[in-house]
Amino acid sequence: MAILVPALSPPAARAQTTPSGVSAEAIRDAVRGQLKTEDIGHGFETLGVFGGTPDASAARYSSNDITLHGYKLPITHSFRDKDDTDSVAPYLEVTLGYETAWQQTALGADTGAPDVVKENYKSYSALGGFGLDIPIGGSTSVRPVALGGYTRIRGSGEFAGPNADLLRESTGGILTSMRIDSFLAGGGVEVLHERTLPDGLRLHLMGRFSEFADIPSRVSDPSLKSTGSFGFATVNAQLDGPLGHLFADDLRWIAFSRGNILIGSQQDFLGFDKFLEVGGGLEVMTPHMGYGVEGVTLRGSAIIGNGVRGWTIGLGLAF
């Protein structure tokens, strides 16, 4: 997202030194050209894809370039009976996501009177998947999934400084009142392995790769219209064990670690493309809730990666 800085800095600097000689349209054309060259419209879709991947319920990511808050509601369900280790069954998943991102950047600082832009972005996403739960042996299953969804991204920029009015006028629909609506289409494959260990321990291993194509349906400026693809890979290991009882329900502890990688030409658009989560939590086994719900989980983790730090917290249902 910091790629917008070089797009704005040259025109802004010219406007500061010779404001009467630079028009808003000239600045706008320069910014448009830079955005097309850097394929920024495709980069913005990273927010939507990031919000549509099944993950923690709430998270905060902080890098040198951006601060990102994410809120997700992931729902997954296999129609295969838990005791059935041989039958192929339908599999469904739905993820609703909301992301907010912001950063503040100084423009033309070498002039001694820099302008400042505060960029704020919001992303709304809904992604659904349908596939098959295919058992391989008694402990492993493979889930190929077809994915489809929709994202809506909104952006705004607040300028301060000697050229604030000129910059605001020249970036309408790009930084101020920015909008991108897109369809998402793609697929993924997930491999699960679950094993019961001595002393009531359970081991869960999961690997998943998803690939999406974003197809813009509406943009606030032609320079933001771009069709591209994204990949997202994750590997998760979880160990849980008995911790006594909570009233009449079994209580279990959870320890987990998860690695995540964004893949594609704009994989570092958010200021990071790889990160690791390490955390733990609790699970209350409540089969009496009905509707196929077998437990409620509460978990949290720390996030570390190449230039990113943060945390996650999640409340989920186990089916």
* Span 241-277, pLDDT tens digits: 999 888 878 899 999 999 999 888 777 777 788 899 9
**CA angle 45-47-51, nearest 5°?**
120
Sign of CA dihedral 286, 290, 293, 294: positive
Q: Which helix (H) or strand (E) holds 27?
A: helix 24-38
The DSSP code sequence of 198-209 is: GGG-EEEEEEEE
End-to-end Cα separation, the chain, in angstroms: 38
Q: Which residues of the chain have pLDDT under 70?
A: 1-22, 54-57, 107-114, 287-292, 318-319
Coil, strand or helix: which one is 86?
coil
Of 186, 184, 188, nearest to 45 by C-alpha is: 184
Question: Does the pTM of the predicted model rise above 0.85?
Answer: no
* pLDDT 10s digits, 208-227: 999 989 888 999 888 888 88
